[in-house]
Amino acid sequence: MDFFDDDDQDEKMPVYDPIRREHLWVLLAAFRVDPTVVHPDNAQLLTNEDLLNTAGPGCYYCEIEWRDQALAMAPCTGPDD
């Protein structure tokens, strides 16, 4: 299996529910990875020393940035598609 062509990844994300209108808050992180040491199945080697950058939190569905608690409690408008 090719790590970057994993079709099962989409199944791990919950589908947006227009009735509940809940945000799915996510935080993205970028790590420096040495391909001679790290295998895709071994996330233990992703340490603070290798952390390069973070982005978010933001809503996966409506793509807004979490700026305050009032926004976090507001209903999600959902994806634009």
Per-residue pLDDT tens digits for 48-67: 888 999 998 999 999 999 98
- Distance (Å, rounded) from C-alpha 61 to C-alpha 43? 26
Direct distance between the N- and C-terminal alpha carbons of the chain, in angstroms, rounded to an integer? 30
pLDDT tens string 2-48: 444 555 556 778 999 999 999 999 999 998 887 777 666 765 667 88
Give domain limits for the chain. 19-81
Contact 67, 56 (CB under 8 A): no
Owner of token pair 């973070």: 54
